[in-house]
Amino acid sequence: MKKVSLFILIAISMSAYGFSQDTVRIKYGLFAGANVSQIHTTVPGSGSAYSANKVGLNFGILVEVPFSSYFAIQPELSFSQLGWNVTERLYLDSLTLNNPKYNLNYISLPILIKFKVAPTVKNGNGLALYAGPQVGYLAGANLTADNASGSQSIKDGFGSFDFSGIAGAEYFMPMGIGISVRYQLGFSNIFSKEAVDEFYQIYGSDVTVKNHALTVTFGYRF
């Protein structure tokens, strides 16, 4: 009888250990969705303003490395289309552009610290809150308009890197399908030094332009 009881105890312990390992294992994932982006422009002495919104793609891969059942670090690598719209005519040299769109394409690397809300966690998934820094590399930038065919490169007017802060929340079902919502707050001036110097000559002060974006993605983790 004692041998049977000991066997059952060992079996239960091994099952519990296996479950514990499963809930804190490393997970990999894919995600895709959309950004609703804009810029915040500040001219010292003249005030600041937000631009009109622009919608772009956001997709990438991630890895979730757990510290425990409720805390994890999540690096991501994504392609993110940011930028802004201008809801009026833009006069550029001899051209008149209707409703121009500034398209900024970044390769982004956020490093997120994640807290999982205890009652919802199942199979390592559930409701989670996260925040962390992000660095973006500008892969390309172009200008398009409703009355123009093709696009014009404007990459020289912007810096190569953008630094931001990320905060958001996600919910993943036990089978690994879920949704994530986050906000990106730009910390750095995205204009190039040459562009900043040119605006200084126009306004007599440094002009600061920062990225902002609301992002919604759907994903699968395994």
% of the chain surpassing 70 pLDDT: 84
Model confidence pLDDT, tens digit, residues 169-187? 999 999 999 999 999 999 9
Phi, psi of 192 (to 5 degrees): -75, 165
Domains held by the chain: number: 1
Kindly indicate the confidence band of residue 93, based on its pLDDT and cuts at 50, 70 and 90.
low
pTM of the model: 0.85
Residue 69 lies in a domain: yes
Range of weakest confidence among 8-22, 152-166, 168-182:
8-22
SS3 222: coil
- Residue 70: domain span: 26-221
Phi, psi of 204 (to 5 degrees): 80, 15
Residue 86 lies in a domain: yes
Q: What is the CATH number of the domain that holds 57?
A: 2.40.160.20
HSE-CB for 149 with a 13 A CA cutoff: 0
Residue 1 lies in a domain: no
Short-list 70, 83, 164, CA closest to 124: 70
Phi, psi of 172 (to 5 degrees): -120, 135
Residue 105 lies in a domain: yes
52 has a pLDDT exceeding 70: yes
Residue 205 lies in a domain: yes
Residue 7 lies in a domain: no
Residue 95 lies in a domain: yes
Residue 2 lies in a domain: no
Please report, as a single letter, which amino acid is at residue 101: K
Please give the structure tokens belonging to residue 121.
């966690």
Say how far apart CA 18 and CA 8 lie, in whole Å: 15
